[in-house]
Every structure is written in structure tokens, then in C-alpha cells.
Chains A and B, each alone.
Chain A
Amino acid sequence: MKTFISRERLAAIYALVVGLILLVASFYGTDPEVYLFPRITAAFIAVLALILSYDAFTHGGAGDKQEPALVEWKVLLPGLAVGAIYVLLLERVGFYTCSFFAFFAICMIYGKRSLFDPQAFALKLVVTVVTMIVLYVLFWKLLNVRTPTGILF
């Protein structure tokens, strides 16, 4: 018994989709001279994606019947959300303010101890503050990297 969605098949589908997007993007309404290399690349990707699919769907992924590694959405989503909000607000609110909250949020969400453990809370806060100070001294003071300050900092 094998499941229809083996890891190989999913990989093949992934590759086909990327290949298709690239083919459309580089051939549809573009100038052949400007898009020469993208076109060659897209064609090669499409061919290889087809070979991968042929392998995966004819003889069942040539023995690779591994199921796709599970993505633990429940664990992952809060982190991805923090990342998305961080990137969105980074330039507008300011690098250091955003980084402070993002760092603290990740520590809070993914720490092993309970969210409401006051000792852990204090530790996480201290680590966050220290990291931010190190970051500021290193990038702003020593390396002269002027990150966007946004409306806060």
C-alpha cells in the first residue's frame, strides 16, 4: 500500500508549478533578447520537472515511498505570523522597536516554561534588552549601519 501523495510526488508537483510559472513569466509578452537567459533556464526547469514527475508517478517514486515530512502548522504559524508582522512594520515603525517586540514574542511563544511564570518572564525580558543593546552598539555605533528609524526607532 502506498499513499498517493508521497514525498516525491509532492516534490514533482512543486517543481512543475515553479517551472510553469517561470515559463509563463519569461515567455509571455517579453522581449526575446532581454529574456534570453530566463527562457533557457525556464525551459530546462520544465524538462527536469517533467522527468521528476515521470519518475514519481510511474514507478511510484522509484522506491522512495516516504510520506512528506509533516509540517506542524500549529507550532509554526505563530512564528510565521511574528515574522510577517515584523517584516511589514520594520520600515515604518523602526528596526529596533520591531526587533525588540519580535525577539520577545519568539522567546515568549516558544519558551519551554509557562507564559505566566514571572521568573521566566523576567529572564526573557532581560535577555531581550541585553540583545537589543548589543545589537545597537554593534550595528549602529561600531559599524555605522543606519537602519530605518521609522516613527519610533
Chain B
Amino acid sequence: MDFLNYFGNVFTVYHISLLIGGTFAGLVLGALPGLSPTMAVALMIPFTFHMEPAAGLILLGAMYTATVAGGAISAILVNVPGAPANIATAMDGHQLAKQGRAAEALYYCFTSSFIGGVLGIFVLIFFTPPLADLALKFGPTELFWIAILGITIIGTIGSRSVIKGLLSGLFGIALSTIGANPMLGEDRFVYSEHLESGIHIVAALIGLFAVPQILTLIEEARKDKNTSVHALGESKLVRSVVYNLKRFKALTIGSLVGIIVGIIPGAGGQIAGLVAYDQARKLSRNPENFGKGEPDGVIAAESANNAMVGPSLVPLLTLSIPGSPTAAVLLGGLLIHGLFPGPDLFTIHAEVTWTFIDSLLVAQVFMLVIGLILSRHSGWIMKIPGHYMAATIFILAAFGTYSIQSSYSDVVVMATLGVFMYFAAKLGFSPAPVVLGIILGPIAEDNFLQGKLIGESGDGVFSYFTSGMLNITMIILCAASIAYSVYTETKARKMRASLIK
């Protein structure tokens, strides 16, 4: 119960104002396309330079939590996810917004984020030592199978047709192989200097989502007013929150998936939302509602996203191995203050560490309150005329993309991919599987090649990849997932065939 002793440190005027400021800034920054949590935390690190360690970490922690939730705001209101993690939120969230239930969707989003976030941090507080050991067991082979497991769900995410979904996902994987080969360092597909460092996931995300949205907006800008402007709608805050709390199944699935994905180092917390969304749909009594504005979709995705935050710090704080890209940046923030992950953190630096963890818990509360207030007043965004909206997303997309890694090439890549996606979308391809492919491709490839090298020096590659409890479990899960996809696809085909007759 160590953590209870340090709440006093959090509740100082200075720290609380940092928390409020960080949360507010995080929500707003997170809502801008391109400013993903990873980016926001990275941009904040220089500011914490001159602060006391505890204060600096409180600010970074608040930013981390809030940007993850903030990314959902733009996902819901304008169908442009602020970060890869929020793709799943856009699927049903934006549909709700189109039906005039934007505020309601945002209430779900923040309530679920809060619940997921708090659960995740409790995992961090109580289960850190055993989970750290578990995290180390995930070597190249286990991570390879996780990536394959992710690829098996690509087909069923966001597209009507499994084949088109898989095609989009594989296209994403192909995109991810551009740039240097991870093992040999030799360039691949570098036909232009803009492709030198490969395709950055956030640049791709902005291109694939924001550009088609801009083009759709300008297509509709001069048409009838009603097509592009959706009313925010009357929605009772209390009723939405109560409804949300009753969606116990979606919340449980979301939080559990988020926690599991968060612990696995290198799996990339970015996929937590999508995996949770997929599971929630498969286990739902009415899966056909997903993609058409099902609150459970938003609830599962957002609880997963925030449940991932706490556990992703477990391997970071104990083993110096970050569980998500943002945690990796946070590692830099710790090191700058001379806090080296490991046992020292909970003994010598216990005060700073526990204050930080407690502040994360308090940050969840601020995120909920500020988020709900912002949701109430975010209606005006939906009322912005199409041409201003298009122009704003246009400029933000360029600036957001540039600021990821100060690279003009990223802007070029973003724009090209975006236009390509716009036309592909007209033909029934969807962007979510492409992004998933870009995330999973490198995880699969890096770990396969690493595992292959290690296997070759041992008992052989095949046996290295198929031995051990974790590997076998993962392979069984992959098989089950493929079987499920085949089953749904054949069912859908039979349905269509009978319709023709």
C-alpha cells in the first residue's frame, strides 16, 4: 500500500496546476491530427528539463494520459484519428456523430477512458513485479506470433469484404517494408529521397484519414448545408454516463485487452483499441451494428486505449523496456532526471516514483472532468462550415506531419498516400487495415528475422518458433482467428448467393 502515502505530494498547488494544465493541453494537442501521444510527450520533454524530477514527470504523465484520450475527440468529430490508437474509436464514434449524437459519443469516450485508465494504473501499482517477469518472456518468436495474430484480424476490421480488408492490410505491410532492411541495413524501394527513412506510421495515419476527409469535405462544401453539418444533438450527460457504466461487457473486454497489450513490450499500444474493438464485435450479440454507430465500439476501443497506459509502464519502470512507443519517449524523460528504471526506482527514488504513479491516478480524474466539460462545448466544431474545416485540417495535416520528425519528406509521403487512399476508398477499401498493416509489418519482420538468426544458431528455425507454452498458445489463437474469419466470410457469401437467387 506504499502508493497511498504519497498522494500528499500530488496535492500541492504547483503540482495540481501542472496536472490541470498538462491534461488540458494534452486533450487539445491530442485532438490535433499529427500530434500523437508519442509526439506530444517528446515535445514536452525539453520543458521538463528545468523542473524538479517529480514535477516534470507529473507533467509528462498527465500529457500521456490526456493525449491518448484527446485523440478520440477528432476521431469522433471529424473522422480523423489523432493517433493510431484512436482508429477504432472513429469507426463507430464518427457514425454516432453523423447521427447527431456527437456529445453522447464523447461522453462514452471519456467515461470509458477513465475506467480503463484507472484499472490500468491499479495493475501497475499492484502487479508490477510478476508482470515484469512475464514481459521478459516475450522474445522475438512470441512477438512474431502476436503480429501474425494481429494480421489475422486485419481482414475483419473496418471493411465489408474480408478479401478487401486483407488486401488493404497487406498493402500496409508492403508500405512498411520501404526503407532500410531491419537486419541488413540495405535500402528497399528507395526510388526517391523522400522514401529514405521509410513511411512513418503517424504520417501515414494522417494521410490515410485526413486527406480523404478533406477531399470529401470540399466535395460537399458547396452542396446542401445538411450533408456536411451534423447537429450535436440533445444528450443528457448523466444518462450517457449511466448507460456507459452498464455496458459491462464492452468495458471488461476493452480494459482487459488494453492491459494485456500494454504489458507486452514492443507490441505497440497502438493496436490495443483495434484488438478490443474486434473482440467486442465478435462477442457482441448484435455484431452487425458495429460500424454503424454502436456505442459498445467506442466504449471498448477507448477503455482499451487508456487501460494500456498503466501496464505499458510496468516493463519500463522495472526493466527499462518500454511497452509502447510513448513509454519509450517517457524513458528519455526519466533518464534526464537521473531516474534509472530498475529496483532503485522503488527504493532510493520511491518518493518520486510513487508521486508520479499517484499523479497518474489523479490525472485520470482531471481527464474525465475536463473531457466531459469539453465534450459539452465541442458542438461548435461540428458547425464549422465545410470549407473552413477542410482548410484547417489541410494546414494542420501538413504541420502535424512535419513536426513528427522535422521531415519535409513525410509531408510528401502523407499527401501522396492520402490522395491514393481517397480513390481506393471510393472502391470499398478502407484505411484502418492499412494503418494496422504498417504497425504490424515491422513487428512481424523484425522479430521473424531476429528469431531466424537465433534459431539458426540453436536447434533450427522451425522448432525455435514452435516450442514453448507462449508460442503454442499464440499459434492456437492465430488458427482460431483464421477459422473465425473463414467462417464469417463463407456465411456472408452464402447470404449474398441466396440474395441473388
Contact = CB atoms under 8 A, between A and B. Distances in A.
Interface of A: 7-8, 10-11, 14-15, 18, 22, 25-26, 30-31, 33-38, 41-42, 44-45, 48-49, 51-52, 55, 59, 62-64, 68-69, 71-72, 75-76, 79-80, 83, 86-87, 90-91, 95, 99, 102-103, 106-107, 109-112, 127-128, 131, 135, 139, 143-148
Given A11-B429, A14-B424, A37-B177, A95 B402 contact: yes
Interface of B: 43, 46, 163-164, 166-167, 170-171, 173-174, 177, 181, 184, 186, 188-189, 214-215, 218-219, 221-222, 385-388, 390-392, 394-395, 398-399, 402-403, 406, 408, 411-412, 415, 419, 423-424, 426-429, 441, 444-445, 448-449, 493, 496-497, 499-500
A76 B428 contact: no
A146 to B, nearest CB: 7
A143 to B, nearest CB: 5
B170 A41 contact: yes
Nearest to A10: B427
A35 B215 contact: no
Given A7-B428, A37-B445, A69-B426, A99 B398 contact: yes
B426 A68 contact: yes
Given A91-B408, A109-B218, A145-B43, 7 more contacts: A37-B441, A41-B170, A41-B174, A63-B496, A63-B499, A102-B395, A131-B391
Contact of B394 (A33, A42, A103, A148): A103
B218 A76 contact: yes
A71 B170 contact: no
A53 B207 CA distance: 27
Contacts of B419: 80, 83
A135 B399 contact: yes
Given A22-B174, A37-B445, A41-B174, A103 B391 contact: yes
A52 B174 CA distance: 19
B127 to A, nearest CB: 36
A64 to B, nearest CB: 8
A68 B387 contact: no
A135 B391 CA distance: 13
The binding surface of chain A is classed by DSSP as helix
Contacts of B402: 95, 145, 147
Given A15-B167, A18-B171, A106 B218 contact: yes
Contacts of A51: 163
A99 B181 contact: no
Report, nearest first, the 9 A-B pairs whose CB atoms are least far apart.
Answer: A110-B387, A11-B427, A106-B391, A110-B221, A145-B403, A69-B426, A38-B177, A103-B391, A34-B186
A51 B489 CA distance: 13
B493 A102 contact: no
A143 B188 contact: no
Nearest to A21: B174
A15 to B, nearest CB: 5
